[in-house]
Amino acid sequence: MLREAIYHRPKLNWAYAADKRTLHIRVRAKRGDAEQVHAIVGDKYAWEDTRWTEPMRKFASDALFDYWETAVVPPYRRLRYAFHFQSKDEELFLTEKGFEDALPEHSLEFFDFPYINPADVFAPPAWVKEAVFYQIFPERYANGDPSLDPAGVEPWGGKPTPGNFFGGDLKGVLEHLDHIERLGVNAIYFTPLFEATTNHKYDTRDYMKVDPQFGTNEQLTAFVAACHARGIRVLLDAVFNHAGKTFAPFVDVLEKGADSKYADWFHVREFPLRVVDGIPTYETFAFEPIMPKLNTEHPEVKAYLLEVARYWVEEIGIDGWRLDVANEVDHAFWREFRETVKAANPEAYILGEIWHDSMMWLQGDQFDAVMNYPFTNAVLDFFAAGKIDAAGFANAIGAQLAAYPQTVTETAFNLLDSHDTPRLLTLCGDDERRMRLAALLQLTFPGVPCIYYGDEVGMNGAGDPDCRKCMVWEREAQNADLLRFYTETIALRKAHEALRGADLRFLQAESGSDLLVYARGAAGGERFVIAMNAGDAAASVAVDVGDAAAAGWTEAYTGAAANASGGRLRAALPAYGYAVWRHAGT
């Protein structure tokens, strides 16, 4: 076995407390090297009396490695352990000291998980695992109160530009809660609602006030209550990395320069504040002069923003925060932010916008989840763009599953498009069949799916501002078949725990192939098998489900008996077609 490929460390995603009693332990090996891996475990203070051997399962693979995992319940919440690798012609032991040909007699050289402290257990809100989110860009969802329209508002459904307005507001969303509820969505994520000058509201003027274009704080409180009455949670967008050019402290600095009492609220390189050759003399989001970066290490800034975080959760009743540009804010601030939010509501969901490896924010002291863009990219590369084959997709997903603890995977925010990207249908070349495959994968995958408003009725649009079109409400202009697909698939997910849990196994994902088959759910319990043809030619699948008769399998959407023979589920899939089978378990 290739020793250089074997890796473990007793922290992060490699050894972690899944709950207050259970440890998950993982180790990596070269793909295909090990046939069996076992963990030799026991209590460090009673090693001889408590020692036992725990088999490990291969839970994920990527292009280079296999990842093995086991769940252990230590007798006294602490664990010492080593690994035993076996191949056809070799066996090998790994301790913290290194590789051994035989297991050492004493355990002092073994890996050590000192203690499962309950305060250290990563525990996102339980409700999030059951959630299906719906992202709303409020300026473009529905105009319910024309009296709130800003000057120069344009007729609903016109062509969006970076600076125009169509009058969407909270009353408009409230009037369409029936649509949201019928879709099966049980959580709403709003892009910013706070007062600002732009249509997107990421340039905050007043963090304590709903933008008058959308309504009032009292209206938002009533809206949240109406959602809660329907079992729908509400998540707001917080822009704490930067403010807007009309934010009162920034206006003061613009006027008074270094003499402003707010001068240290921002990162100023040179006074007076100005733009030189396109680069502001103060730190901003990107190089946007209207978005000055806040100094979140400053005690007054910190106190102000933490009060904002508390107010909307405790007094308005929102269910959590999505944090814009979260990776550019210091970790110390986010730790205090979490303490503040969880004190206001322990079940509040804290979601960070991070586009890359996010392990440093997901250790239980900062965020509950991040926007899972690596998932987004893998799904789009396979289903929408055809950039990778089935093996490439499975490898990308395997790497992601191994990169985070299971508890993180279960509440990861899985999106396929948003106000920041082209719409899913456009990314799929306006091919509805490709779009359905991508959405089916999203809605049968571990984590929390989020649908961008209008995708369910067939809206398209390239990047900003085209992806921010007005919601289509005319029934004749909506794609009724696509809406039915989303509604039925969301209902399928919500009805079956197997589609929401963490267990996922690829049954077929070959190099050079467009056929993808994966299983959800554990043996003995409820199971699903999903087959997808991401190619432009018809294909047949025959899936070995480990049952000589393949008895008890049904078509998941209809309940009809599955086409099964010889221990295999069988289907003829058209181009970009799919089949979903279910077994109720034993």
Q: In terms of DSSP bridges, do strands 52-55 and 57-61 run parallel, antiparallel, or are they unpaired?
A: unpaired
Burial class for 365, CB neighbours closer than 10 Å (0-12, 13-18, 19+): middle
Strands (E), 153-256: 187-190, 194-196, 204-210, 233-238
pLDDT tens per residue, range 309-342: 999 999 999 999 999 999 999 999 999 999 999 9
- Residues catalogued as catalytic: 324, 353
What's the whole-model pTM score? 0.96
Q: What is the pLDDT of residue 255?
A: 97
Q: Backbone phi, then psi, for 401, in 5-degree steps? A: -60, -35
Residue 322 one-letter amino acid:
R
pLDDT tens, position by position, 475-484: 999 999 999 9
Q: Where in the chain is the domain with CATH 3.90.400.10?
A: 242-295
Where do you find CATH 2.60.40.1180 in the chain?
501-583
Q: What are the start-end ranges of the E strands in 170-318?
A: 187-190, 194-196, 204-210, 233-238, 275-276, 279-280
Q: Is residue 450 over pLDDT 70?
A: yes
Distance CA 52, CA 552 (A): 37
| pLDDT-based confidence at residue 188 (cuts at 50, 70, 90) | very high
Tell me the mean pLDDT in the region 538-558: 89
On the question of a cis peptide bond just before residue 465, with omega within 30 degrees of 0, the verdict is yes
What is the C-alpha to C-alpha distance for residues 289 and 279, in angstroms, rounded to an integer? 8
Give the class (CATH, top level) of 242-295: alpha beta
Which of the four CATH numbers 2.60.40.1180, 2.60.120.1360, 3.60.20.10, 3.30.160.160 does domain 501-583 have? 2.60.40.1180
Cβ–Cβ < 8 Å for 234, 136: no
Contact assessment for residue 90 and residue 1, using Cβ atoms and an 8 Å cutoff: yes
Q: Provide the pLDDT for residue 549.
A: 64
Structural tokens at position 363: 């250790």
In this structure, are strands 111-113 and 133-136 parallel, antiparallel, or unpaired? unpaired
Tell me the CATH number for domain 126-237+300-498: 3.20.20.80
Per-residue confidence (pLDDT) for residue 459, from 0 to 100 = 98
pLDDT band at 345 (very low <50, low <70, confident <90, very high): very high
Q: Where in the chain is the domain with CATH 2.60.40.10?
A: 3-120
Query: What are the tens digits of pLDDT across the range 375-409?
Result: 999 999 999 999 999 999 999 999 999 999 999 99
> Is the predicted pLDDT of residue 67 greater than 70, yes or no?
yes
DSSP code at position 26: E
Span 99-133, pLDDT tens digits? 999 999 889 999 999 999 999 999 999 999 999 99
Q: What architecture does CATH give domain 3-120?
A: Sandwich (2.60)
Check residue 290 and give its pLDDT.
Answer: 97
**Three-class SS of 167-193:** CCCHHHHHCCHHHHHHHCCCEEEECCC
Residue 246 corresponds to which tokens in the numbers above?
């009309």
Q: Cite the residue boundaries of each domain of the chain with CATH code 3.20.20.80.
A: 126-237+300-498
pLDDT score of 418: 97
Tracing tokens 């078949």 back to the chain, one arrives at 481
Q: pLDDT class for 548, splitting at 50, 70, 90?
A: low
Residue 27 tokens, joined = 């180790």
